[in-house]
Amino acid sequence: MKRFIYNELLRINIERVESKKMSNTVSTNEWKVPEGCLVNGKWVETAQQFSVLDKFSGATIAQVYAADQDLVATAIRSLRLAVGAGAPAPHERAQVLRRAAFGLEAHRDRIANVMVAEAGFVTSDAHGEIDRAIITLNLSAEETTRLIGGMVPFAASPGAHNRVGFTVRYPVGVVCAITPFNSPLNTVLHKVAPAWGAGNAIVLKPSAYTPLTSALLADILLEAGMPPEFLSVLQGEGDTVGSWLLKEEAIAFYTFTGSTRVGHIIQAAAGLRRTQMELGSIASTVLCADADLESAIPKIANATFRKAGQVCTSVQRLYVERSIVDDVAERLVRAAATLPAGDPRNPAVRVGPLITEEAAISTESRLAQARQLGAKVLCGGERQRSVIQPTVLINVPDESNAWCQEAFAPLVALRPFDTFEEALESANATPYGLSAGVFSRDINRCMKAARTLRFGTVQINETSSARSDIMPFGGVKDSGFGKEGPWHAMREMTEERLIVINP
């Protein structure tokens, strides 16, 4: 019965969405995508435009209007007024998020096509992103209706036992979400959905590489009933639109996913205002001799090469116990051979292009340097325009950029270890601490890793790149602070107020 109701709701929503033309859109070949900036429910055209490229062919697929400083100020004033008037009730906000989840399903193929073009995702990665985004919306809807504080045990304080105390959570105000190219839908929703669920107004600045997915998402949110005065989308570059947003004192909270360098800039500008940062990473996974290699190797290959390695938690350093290093290297090379790279529209392709040809050239240079320093390329490394073939390296020295800098490319560097402690120490010896993985059947080793590895997440018998959208996700050290995950993000984006009643 529940399944029938779900299917009927989905059918009705698809018919309703498809029967209504998306607002203020222009045609870009196969889809209609808003190409302006969203302020007060209207897509605004400005004097400046920038090109959006197909990441495989390099062809221009859209010209998007970039916000100017006056439009940024106008958007923030509007959002501030919306916050002052107050958001709809929690159950209404939850309904918007649930309807938006239906909207994503209704527009699934359209959104997937956009991500394949502007992000370079292979089709399976694009649909996986949509699947996860639907989960994130529904989780956020659930948390919206149970965002509560807690009781204060005044009985523990002498003379205060008759008091009643409890906390209540209120929205912080205007939330600014600055989002990356490598997850243009789900990471955006990990910021926008909890912010709205908590009752905030949101200004979204997507990556200039992938603005179209966010534009489609915004139209879906408006179609789902989100009040237009609570959402703005400002397109453009970080050094212009991003910088102007940092000057807007009415913004109460910044949530950012991107480089550590930009994170420092945002944090310096935010001052005493609150922030949540997911920043750089050099993700490590430790593979012990007692691990189940039949299970571990496919996971490692997927975590290394998925989205062309452009994931903050992609396995870059793979520590392998010396007795199995030859076997692991052979297995990984075989696994890489089953993941052809190329045109993401080709169903046989599993690894798409990097975000720019410049990024691919930089990766090519990184691999050349590793070879010069003595590393051996076991497979891959060839470049064709923006595509890099899945690459497995071994004997990579510490000073090589492929080892000591975040690669953000489809490559993994194997390093043998003799003692478990040696592997843990090396994994910890970076400025970053986002996520790590350990494969072992030895419970003592697993517990030691959990205690020793200074990362925001330590995965046992999983890679560094495994993530469920309900879990708290964030880093330590130069990988940032604060947590994503709807329950956790809503608490980041609310103020806790203590109410004390003294009879």
Strand arrangement of the beta sheet that strand 411-417 belongs to: 376-379, 391-394, 411-417, 317-321, 284-287, 435-439, 457-460
Count Cβ atoms below 10 Å from residue 498 Cβ, excluding itself. 10
Amino acid at 224: A
Among the listed residues 312, 321, 462, 484, the single catalytic one is: 312
Say how far apart CA 28 and CA 17 lie, in whole Å.
19
Residue-wise DSSP of 16-45: HHHHSPPTT-EEETTEEE--SEEETTEEE-
Residue-wise DSSP of 374-402: T-EEEE---EETTEE--EEEES--TTSHH
Is residue 79 within 8 A of residue 203, CB to CB? The reply is: yes
Whether 312 is catalytic is yes
Whether 249 is catalytic is no
Among the listed residues 35, 143, 223, 278, the single catalytic one is: 278
Residue closest to 457 by CA, chosen among 444, 466, 445, 470: 466
Is residue 351 within 8 A of residue 410, CB to CB? The reply is: yes
Say how far apart CA 324 and CA 317 lie, in whole Å.
16
Torsion angle, CA of 136/139/145/148, rounded to 10 degrees?
Answer: -100
Is residue 115 within 8 A of residue 124, CB to CB? The reply is: no
Say how far apart CA 80 and CA 174 lie, in whole Å.
6
Residue closest to 373 by CA, chosen among 358, 393, 391, 359: 393
Say how far apart CA 379 and CA 369 lie, in whole Å.
16
Say how far apart CA 197 and CA 403 lie, in whole Å.
40
Residue-wise DSSP of 81-110: HHHHH-PPPHHHHHHHHHHHHHHHHHTHHH
Angle between helices 293-305 and 325-337 (to 10 degrees): 50
* Tokens of residue 465, six digits: 């790149």
Is residue 452 within 8 A of residue 422, CB to CB? The reply is: no
Q: Which residues are catalytic?
A: 278, 312
